[in-house]
Structure 1
Amino acid sequence: MSEDRPTPTGPAAPELTIVESRVYRGGNVWSYDPAIHLVVDLGILEQYPTNLIDGFTDRLVELLPGLENHTCSRGVKGGFIERMREGTWLGHVSEHIALQLQQEAGHDQRRGKTRQVKGVPGRYNVIYGYSDEGVGLAAGTLAVRLVNHLVQEEEGFDFDEALESFLKRAERTAFGPSTAAILEEAVSRDIPYIRLNSASLVQLGQGVHAQRIRATMTSKTGALAVDIASDKDLTTKLLGSAGLPVPKQETVRGPNDAVAAARRIGFPVVVKPLDGNHGRGVCLDLQSDDEVREAFEVAREQSRRGYVIVESFVTGKDYRCLIVGGRMQAIAERVPAHVVGDGEHTVAELVDITNSDPRRGVGHEKVLTRIKVDRAAEGLVRDQGFEMDAVPPQGTMVKLALTGNMSTGGISVDRTFDAHPDNVEIAEEAARMVGLDVAGIDFICPDIASPVRETGGAICEVNAAPGFRMHTHPTIGEPQFIARPVVDLLFPPGAPSRVPIVAVTGTNGKTTTSRMIAHIMKGVGRKVGMTSTDGIVVDERLVFKADASGPKSARMVLQNPRVDFAVMEVARGGILREGLGYDRNDVAVVTNIAPDHLGLRGIETVEQLADVKAVIVEAVPRNGFAVLNADDKLVRKMRRKCSGSVVWFTMSAPGTPVRDFVDDHCRRGGRAVVLEPSDKGDMIVIRHGRRAMQLAWTHLLPATFGGTAMFNVANAMAAAGAAFAVGTGLHEIRQGLRTFSTSYYLSPGRMNQVNVNNIDVIVDYCHNAPGMKVLGEFVERYADAKAGSSDLGKISRLGVIATAGDRRDEDMRELGTLAAQHFDVIVVREDERLRGRKPGETAGHVAEGAKAAMAEGARCRQVEIVTDELSAVRHVMARANPGDIVVVCVDQHGVVMNELETMTKQAQPGTRTADSLADPDLDPSTLSAEAQVSGEEATDQDLADHDLGEVDPEAAAHAGSTTQ
């Protein structure tokens, strides 16, 4: 600690506040695993580390003694306490409290870090792991409140009460013991899972391999089998027809019918609901008509359909046999809820002592359930000769329930290896007769170790979705690992649970690259699920239209049961907002890193942007691949973050430093995709070690516009590298690239070419300066090639350009500057969503950059502002002559393409013919007043006429550019 820290003259004010909170649901910039991210502000407490707050450490440890086990950076138990005594800041303390609170709730979380927000004194990034995001966020909130309370006591705040409330919330959202056991086994086998609701519905596996569970009911559990098991009368008849031992029984609807049935069967009898569960409404050992009538009402209350069963009372011990996949897996003897006298305490006191066992909780939240004392329990105690305030003699067992269900407070004794083979066969046959894959067979017999056909006994019930906790956490005996056969049932050894995931990111090119990869894999018969800035596509069908490049969209793809291959376009915003949304990707593709989206969410430099994009590289496993652009210095550095192998792609010519680097990589057995120039053109070559495999001539790939769209050459090389990495054959990759075009069907909004009345129109999504640079270079090459084969004379270039309102002012001006180098006429429009900008503000900055370039001799001769997208398109088309090239950088590509399609079907008023070709200077007499801005600033009214209205300024930024 610094020696010049101030000594407090009094208690510091409790000013620790949470400024922002995020939940990362996958790999993120802070952690490989899901994490909570809190941005906290210490306020005046920045001046008061823990060693300057009297008694802070001691009071905190008194409230949460578990903190003594935290190692912190010291690596030994007690390390965190040492840090507090030496002095550490309260943001760091909040991190450890949040972790300890989750441990108090049974969530074993130990990962965390705290880092100061750069350039903002007193603000800290607090990151820590979580098991349940609701519990994790609540832990952070309570941690901050506790820190403030310890600095200066908060009136009315009781930490013990707050902790109990927190623990109850954690118990409500936690998985039950049965679900938790299955998930623990699945995770140990590297089977991913997704929680589908707030209860116990969970998906195991991904896509086509996915299986679902709800508690212990699985995707393979037949609905008919569940219906049969729920109908106890039908179950007994089926088992009886198979010769299995079952009690005599009848189904009744009235108390008199119940009495009559009991007389026919013979006392003692059992009365229970036809379709009940958990032992509710079951009355045993009924000896008289009056007892049957009273029990009938109890049972009917628990029957969903009003039917009640009367059956013969089978004496003996209560055993639960668990059958999974037709085979016995575990047997537990269930002992009803009871207390044992000690000669000192009353029955009521003994119940309280028993319930104080930390293993007991409410319902199924813990391995044992608290004993509930109701009128039935009091009556049972009275029948045994005691009252609740009586003191039973030493060693006397007093029952508080007749049934041995765990949910009524019973305990379990493991008897798995004591069962007689005949009894095992009977239980397995019962499960097969009902048809359940996971079944709980309730046996009543004198001893499970002796054959019931000789000693007497019967199957009294068959249960669907049986609870596991009596087997996984028996009160007496060894626990049985019964989740293993359940997971085996869903995923037999060697069966896949994951679909291959290819993640694609970069400043430019990620959308087109993703589409190319999806197209290649579709050609080999895969059902591809793809996320992109246009939406979610499953097997070439758009199933969700939105900017779907975030983690929620990724989870939607992985939940789709048709998907057997996933291609995820991963945007910067999604990574910063929620992480990846999955734990790992088999292949990571990074196209390039350029200065875009800077100044948003704390990303101020291109190096920071590269760190964000590198998250998908960090998510590559040891047997995976990272396909990286060797021509980009920042992308090359990402190789150090990859646990798997690297596949380079480069357009650098042989003999250059980058190419030498890639060639050396291949000589060591690595993989790469390179460009080999020749007098016939450029050949894309895949290299693996010393092997070189020719893939395709670039000018024969439709997406490259005869080899002039070099950015799509790079995208094709990246896609080829990814497809090769997942094992796709050379022929299939070649065929996929040769059949992928930039048609609107295959690549909507990305380099779509339309001929409108002999005007060459190209529709693209270019929204940033790096994209405009490569788009402009393409326009130059394309125009030169077109001029060489045209006799129309001079070909002019017209462009409609725009950028998103959340870019920096200098980025907007740079876009205009670059566009002015390549277009004769520029029309500047604005997106429908202004993103916090005033109408005309964004367009003004872009036009300013273009005019500055014009003043320095750029190609452009005219800049106009028409803010409405459709009006801008109509305006530029009215300006163009046949043979010209028009590039439209779109926001709503569907609307623009529809407008262009309309123009092709009917001649536009004022369309000029080839005879009137001239310089594309504006003829004011042919245009409306609103478009007559001819290189000058539009008035506020002009801009207002074209503005589409106010839009949410907080709307998320579009990702994408010309190469996407």
Structure 2
Amino acid sequence: MTDTPLAGGRPSPDLRIVETRVYRGANVWAYDKSIHLVVDLGSLEQFPTNTIPGFTDNLLQMLPGLREHSCSRGRRGGFVERLNEGTWLGHVAEHTALALQQVVGHDIRRGKTRQVKGEPGHYNVIFGYVDEQVGLAAARLAVRLVNHLVEADPEFDWDAELEAYIKRAERTAFGPSTQAIVDEAVSRDIPWIRLNQYSLVQLGQGVHAKRIRATMTSATSSIAVDVASDKDLTTRLLGAAGLPVPKQDSVRSVDQAVKVAERIGYPVVVKPLDGNHGRGVCLNLQDADEVREAFPVAQEQSRRGWVIVESFVTGKDYRCLIIDGRLAAVAERVPASVTGDGVSTVEQLVDTANADPRRGVGHEKVLTRIKVDDAAIELVREQGYAMTDVPPEDEMVKLALTGNMSTGGISIDRTVEAHPENVEIAEEAARMIGLDIAGIDFICPDITEPVRETGGAICEVNAAPGFRMHTHPTIGEPQFIAKPVVDMLFPPGAPSRIPIVAVTGTNGKTTTSRMISHIFKGMGRKVGMTSTDGVVIDERLLIKADASGPRSARMVLQNPRVDFAVFEVARGGILREGLGYERNDVAVVLNVQPDHLGLRGIDTVEQLADVKAVLVEAVPRDGHAVLNADDPLVREMRRRCSGQVVWISMEEPGSEVRDMIDAHCRRGGKALVLNPSDRGEMIVVKHGRREMQLAWTHLLPATFSGRARMNVQNALAAAAAAFAAGAPLHDIRQGLRTFSTNYYLSPGRLNEVEVNGVNVVVDYCHNAPGMRMLGDFVDRVGDSLESSHELARPSRIGVIATAGDRRDDDMRELGHIAAQHFDVVVVREDEALRGRERGEVAGLVAEGVRTAIDEGSRCKQVEVVLTEIEAVRHAMSRANKGDLVVLCVDKHPAVMSELETWSQQAQAGSGTTDDKATADPDYQPASGE
């Protein structure tokens, strides 16, 4: 690349973000969750990095971590080479966003930048993330930084911006305890979902799910937590079990505190009954005056106003961590202190200690910054120093009495040194309180000696103990204590995932999903299903909406009843947010037809196939992809599958497709095909060289005696998915035999009803490829109908519509195809126009019908009735007994309600259509009808 600009002039800070998408699962760009930016370089399209003076040096100075990026070179420093050679600033924004995430400890290295086709200067920038909000903040800051390096912005303070970004990341980051457990779960391939912005996390899916909040788990007893928070009750329970505890009593007034202290004997400790983190704890009180001074300090931290006075046990402060009844770690906690050097003041020593990069605010880092408050100043004064005094060399000055990490203390690992008797006492204490994860606080001279002999005691039992002192000790070896926690929640061999079957395709997704769900319901599974009709959990419709996107999938995976998931996955959800989950055990791709083209950058059928192939790419090595071998675009997806391919085909033996399937099976593969015979078509399961008969297609209710060819294909796909998921053949056979397209099992999908002698079919067909399949069904059914009049053949009346976000040509094609199969076509419109004017969509569809009429199609008349219910009434009023009316619906409950009304009025002999009463409570009219 040259060292001069591609065009004259000076570079301007024109980089801007045009569009932002967050993918929460596998997507068209990556196998894992990613952030997708569409950026516009503006004039910077003419200025690669090597043409901007000082750009590379300044960037590397601000983010030295970029020197480690390998980029496409595959070696350290590869990205720096690209910068020096000259690369475009969209690419720089990608690496800058990754480097900013690495600054806050998110080890993300996945990214790519690709030019948007047909739009010069526009680039797709894709990079991974750990935390969504941190990733988005990194993207915004990366763009601002790049622009600043192109032309300095006087209002852009890099140090201040970086610090604000780091603090933003710290606010949403998991604490050390939660992060340790999540990391351990990830290492075992246990999926996790963050349930809120804090530390509530779900590990596992569905029926196997467990929840944690920091170190509290879904198995933690609420009663045990209450007992542990009541220090007086805790001490009495432990004392009753013969465990060493200090003498104590709880009080509510200063005078009572003094009396108890005198009865117990000085020195004493005064602390809140239900406090935490060592707040309000006053140690080594020598007389009544000190007790009086300490009482209000402790009471202020007590939620219920009770204060404990107990005997002061001398010794070191040890924390014993008990997980699932066994000792996991022991740490000695040393209170916050500084050591004199003979030169610095106490205040300067504190500043030096806080400058340690290991110290941060709260739990953000290994150590917490030492806080100098009034209590710390008073403690220093009691040791004979002021904050401005210089303590002698090697003199230790305490700044806190308790050894809590949250007050700036340090920890020393003592796990292997603990005496077995002390270990036994700690484990027994956790059992007495009933905690699955407990922090037992020992005060004793030496944890290596039995506390019963040295005079030590248990001073406290903590629910939800922090892990930081054990996972990141200041001195000693870290303990991997997240392992026993995950072992407790998911014992070795215990499942954490539920099987996931995902179904996609242009047409047939919903029916196939319902068939699969029906098969596994018959096997006793608690199935969670998402579809365009809603979210169904164990046969109950929880949400009535288009639920074919990633959010609905996550809702199913969070439900504790679900042990099997079936997801209908639509194109829009994949493009918008990705899959919303990590992987699917079985992916089903039915077909790829020209529908929804021209939306979100998908202009060709090949691009649409790439979108739907995301499901195939999300199949693990031990999973399966059920692919329709009759569709060339679906057939090509086999190259993207890491697992096994299960073919389905409706082609006859001897065809090129069947030859390919036979070769596949000879190599041990699986397939489901149709074998014709004099008795009909048999669905055959092929596995290796074995062939197993499954069912006659004409005996399956959903196929209408084999006439509904689309449902023959759907049955093949459902059977193949169930077979791949491990269902026995007899259960698959029973499921297909008992699944029908009645309104209750498959609402809005090929529902057949008779209304006053008129044959009515209700379906959701809304695109040209679907109309071809529906038209084939109409021809097969129509030819078998008997006329009610000897001089007239049965008429076929179709009510059709499509969505407003289709292309004009697609709308015309829908009408053109419908005209080949119906005598009368009634064109209506959906309630949601999707950006079109009222009447525009119907006009385009009707135009296609008229073109077909001019060409000599079956259709002789086209009418436009825009409102759905009015269109249904119009079609029904035109129909005679024996006619076939096909209603392509938008709001199927309202349509079925209208048909029920027609049926009732005929029985009552009213002859009018004004009465809107319905006999079936499941037929709910649409709002406003």
Q: Distance in 2 between matches of 1:899 and 1:269?
A: 82
The residue number in structure 1 matching 2:736 is: 737
Is contact 2:786-2:882 (8 Å) kept?
no
User: Shift in Å at residue 793 of structure 1?
Assistant: 4.9
**Within the alignment, does 1:573 sit opposite 2:569 as a pair?**
no
Residue pairs, 1:524-543, within 5 angstroms: 524-543=523-542
What is the letter of the counterpart of residue 34 of structure 2?
A
Q: Does 1:65 align with 2:74?
A: no
Residue 289 of structure 2: aligned partner: 290
Cα deviation code 1:78-119 (max 9, x no counterpart):
111111111111100000000000000111111100001110
Aligned residues of 1:245 and 1:459 also touching (Cα < 8 A): yes
Shift of 1:599: 0.2
Name the structure 1 match of 2:715.
Answer: 716
Letter in 1 for 2:547: A
Q: How does 1:344-363 map to 2 (within 5 A)?
A: 344-363=343-362
Matches within 5 A, 1:447-526: 447-526=446-525
Map Cα deviations across residues 595-622 of structure 1 (whole Å, 9 max, x no partner).
0000000000000000000000000000
Please, which runs of 5 or more residues in structure 2 have no aligned partner?
915-925
Conservation of the 8 A alpha-carbon contact between 1:272 and 1:310: yes
Q: Are 1:8 and 1:52, in contact at CA under 8 Å, matched by a contact in 2?
A: no
Residues 472-526 of structure 1, C-alpha deviations (whole Å, 9 max, x = no match): 0000000000000000000000000000000000001111000000000000010
- Secondary structure of residue in 1 paired with 2:561: coil
**SS of equivalent residue, structure 1 residue 157:** coil
Matches within 5 A, 1:395-434: 395-434=394-433
* Cα distance between partner residues in 2 of 1:709 and 1:481: 60
Hey, what does 1:103 align to over in structure 2? 102
2:677 corresponds to which residue?
678
Is 1:631 the counterpart of 2:627? The answer is no
Structure-2 residue corresponding to 1:608: 607
Q: Verify: 1:622 aligned to 2:621, yes or no.
A: yes
Q: In the TM superposition, what is the alpha-carbon distance from 1:9 to its structure 2 partner?
A: 3.7
Q: Is the 8 A contact 1:812 1:849 kept in 2?
A: yes
CA distance in structure 2 between the aligned counterparts of 1:364 and 1:870, rounded to whole angstroms = 61
Q: CA deviation at 1:155?
A: 2.5
Counterpart code for 2:296: E
1:954 maps to what in 2? none
CA distance in 2, matches of 1:910, 1:589: 49
- Of the structure 1 ranges 284-293 and 176-185, higher mean CA displacement relative to structure 2 is found in 284-293
Deviations 1:834-873 (A, max 9, x none): 0000000001000001100110011111111111000000
The equivalent of 1:796 in structure 2 is: 795
Shift of 1:746: 0.5
Distance 1:13 1:868 in 2: 54
Higher deviation after alignment, 28-37 or 339-348: 339-348
Q: Counterpart in 2 of 1:903?
A: 902
1:910 is displaced (CA, Å) by 11
1:684 CA drift (Å): 0.5
Paired AA for residue 857 in structure 2: A
Contact 2:7–2:46 under 8 Å retained in 1 = no
- Matched with 1:844 is 843
Following superposition, the deviation at residue 393 of structure 1 comes to 1.4
Compared CA separation, residues 862 and 226, structure 1 to 2 (3 A): same
Q: How does 1:175-574 map to 2 (within 5 A)?
A: 175-574=174-573
Letter in 2 for 1:141: R
2:590 is matched by which residue type in structure 1? T
Following the alignment from structure 2 to structure 1, what is the Cα–Cα distance between the partners of residues 874 and 334?
85
Give structure 1 stretches of 5+ with no counterpart.
Answer: 913-925, 929-946, 950-964
CA distance in 2, matches of 1:484, 1:149: 46
- Is the CA contact (8 Å cut-off) linking 1:192 and 1:206 kept in structure 2? yes
Look up the match of 1:86: 85
Give the conservation status (yes or no) of the 8 Å contact 1:325–1:438: yes
Asked if residue 657 in structure 1 is aligned to residue 656 in structure 2, the reply is yes
Aligned with 2:671: secondary structure?
Answer: strand
What secondary structure sits across from 1:906 in the alignment? Answer: helix
Contact conserved, 2:4 with 2:51, CA < 8 A, in 1? no
Give TM-score scaled by structure 1 length: 0.94
The answer as to whether partners of 1:832 and 1:948 remain within 8 angstroms in 2 is no
Q: Aligned-pair distance for 1:790? A: 10
Alignment correspondent of 1:786: 785
1:821 counterpart residue number: 820
| Cα contact 1:513–1:719 (8 A) shared by 2 | yes
Distance 2:908 2:599 in 1: 44
Change over 3 Å in CA distance of 1:80–1:753 after alignment to 2: same
The change in CA–CA distance for 1:5 and 1:373 in structure 2 (over 3 A counts) is: closer
Check whether the contact 1:878–1:911 (CA below 8 A) recurs between aligned residues. no
**Counterpart residue type for residue 181 of structure 1:** A
8 Å Cα contact 2:648-2:673 kept in structure 1: yes
Give the corresponding residue for 1:172.
Answer: 171
**2:122 pairs with 1:123:** yes
SS of corresponding position for 2:906:
coil
Q: Aligned partners of 2:279 and 2:434: how far apart in 1?
A: 24
Instruction: Give the partner amino acid of 2:40.
Output: D
Contact 1:7 1:52 in 2 (8 A): no
Which residue identity does 1:880 align to in structure 2? A
1:396-429 CA-partner distances (Å, limit 9, x unpaired): 1111000000000000000000011110000000
**Residue of structure 1 equivalent to 2:918:** none
Letter of the structure 1 residue corresponding to residue 303 of structure 2: R
AA aligned to 1:300 is: Q
**Is residue 727 from structure 1 mapped to residue 750 from structure 2 by the alignment?**
no
Q: 8 Å contact 2:694–2:729 — kept in the other structure?
A: yes
1:791 positional shift:
7.0
The SS at the match of 2:495 is coil
* Contact 1:686–1:693, Cα closer than 8 Å, also in 2: yes
Q: Is the 8 A contact 1:868 1:948 kept in 2?
A: no
Q: Tell me, yes or no, if structure 1 residue 46 matches structure 2 residue 82.
A: no
Contact 2:627 2:647 in 1 (8 A): yes
Aligned counterpart, 2:17: 18
Number of the residue aligned with 1:32:
31
Q: Distance in 1 between matches of 2:7 and 2:83?
A: 16
Check whether the contact 2:529–2:566 (CA below 8 A) recurs between aligned residues. yes
Q: State whether residues 592 and 605 of structure 2, in contact with CA within 8 Å, keep that contact through their aligned partners in structure 1.
A: yes
Amino acid at match of 2:6: P
What SS does structure 2 have at the residue aligned with 1:695?
strand
Letter of the structure 2 residue corresponding to residue 514 of structure 1:
S
Aligned counterparts of 2:785 and 2:910: Cα–Cα separation in 1:
22
Question: Following the alignment from structure 2 to structure 1, what is the Cα–Cα distance between the partners of residues 766 and 789?
Answer: 30
In the TM superposition, 1:139-158 aligns within 5 A as: 139-158=138-157
Report how far residue 786 of structure 1 moved: 2.6
How far, CA to CA, are the matches of 2:913 and 2:117 in structure 1?
A: 53
* Offset at residue 908 of structure 1 (A): 9.2
The verdict on how the C-alpha distance between 1:295 and 1:810 changes in structure 2, with shifts beyond 3 A counting, is same
Name the amino acid aligned to 2:523: V
Local SS of the residue matching 1:31:
coil
**1:365 counterpart SS class:** coil
Q: Is the partner of 2:646 in helix, strand or coil?
A: strand
| Conserved? CA contact 2:788–2:794, under 8 Å | no
- Count, aligned residues: 917
Shift of 1:7: 5.4
Cα 1:3–1:228 change in 2 (3 A) is closer
SS in 2 for 1:135: helix
Name the % identity.
74
Residue 814 (structure 1) shift: 0.4
Partner in structure 2 of residue 886 of structure 1: 885
Structure 1 CA distance for aligned equivalents of residues 248 and 627 of structure 2: 72
Q: Which residues of 2 match residues 763-778 of structure 1 at below 5 A?
A: 763-778=762-777
SS at match of 1:682: strand
Tell me by how many angstroms 1:283 deviates: 0.7
> Comparing 715-724 with 253-262, which one deviates more in the overlay?
253-262
Q: Is the 8 A contact 2:3 2:51 kept in 1?
A: no
Alpha-carbon displacement from aligned partner over 1:778-821 (angstroms, at most 9, x marks no partner): 10011112349997951110000000000000000000000000
Contact 2:511 2:749 in 1 (8 A): yes
Partner of 1:917: none
1:896 is paired with a residue of what secondary structure? Answer: helix
Amino acid at match of 1:786: L
